[in-house]
Homo-oligomer: A and B are copies of this chain.
C-alpha cells in the first residue's frame, strides 16, 4: 500500500459522502487497469459507473488530437451522468489510475419510485455542475499558477470528504500531461509552473503524493473558496456511509 510508505496513514474506510444511497444500488464491482476506457465518446452508457477507488476522468478529444479533460473523478463520484436519462455522452470516461468501479444498471438510477436515489443524484449532478463552473472560471480568468493551485486545493477537499486526504496531503498519480489537459495548458508549461510552486515553498509533488506545505498560502494564491464543494443543504450524518472494506489499491 503506497500510502503507508511515508507520512501519516490515511483512514482505512473512505467515507463516500453523498453517494450512500447510490452505493447500495451497485450490482457488480470491477477492477480496471489504468488507461481503460469506461465509456467512449459518443456512446450511450450501458451501465453507470460509480468510482470506488482510484481516479478517472471525463474528456473530449478534438479531431486534430487536442484533448481536454472535463472532470477529474474521485471515489464516490458518478462517472457517466447521461446514464440517468439513457442519453448519449459527448465525452469519454477513462481511468487515470488503476481503479475499482461499481456498476449500477441504468434502470436503477432512473427508478422513479426511489426518492432517496433521486435526491442523491440531484445533489451529485449539481455538485458536478458547480465544479465544472469553477473550472470554467479558472480556464477563463486564472493564470497557470492559480489554476494549478486551485485544482490542488479542490482535489484536497474532495478527497478529504471521502477520507482519502489528510489536511495537507494526498495520494495522486496524475501526470503532468494530464494536468495540462485538465487545465488547458501544455505539459511543458505545467512542468515549469510546478517548479515555481515548489520553489515558492507551497507544494511538494513526488512519488504519487502531493503535500501542500502551506495550505492557506496556496488557497490564497488560487483564490480558493470551498463553498462550491459543499452540498446545498447539510446532509444528516446518518446519511453518510462507509465502505465495508478498505480500498484494495489506490494506484
Q: Which A residues have a C-beta under 8 Å from some C-beta of B?
A: 42, 44, 58, 60, 62-63, 66-68, 70, 81-82, 84-88, 90-91, 112, 115, 118, 122-123, 125-126, 128-130, 132-137, 139-141, 181, 183-184, 223, 227-228, 231-233
Contacts and interface: CB of A to CB of B under 8 A. Distances in A.
A90 B126 contact: no
A183 B139 CA distance: 9
Contacts of A141: 62, 66-68, 184
A124 to B, nearest CB: 11
Nearest to A140: B184
B70 A133 contact: yes
A184 B63 CA distance: 23
Contacts of A223: 62-63
A184 B139 contact: yes
A160 B87 CA distance: 22
B233 A130 contact: no
Give the interface centre of A88, A133, A134, A227 by most chain B CB atoms within 10 Å. Answer: A133
A232 B87 contact: yes
Contacts of A128: 129
Query: Which 6 A-B residue pairs are closest in the complex by CB-CB distance?
Result: A87-B232, A140-B184, A139-B139, A66-B141, A90-B228, A68-B140
A203 to B, nearest CB: 22
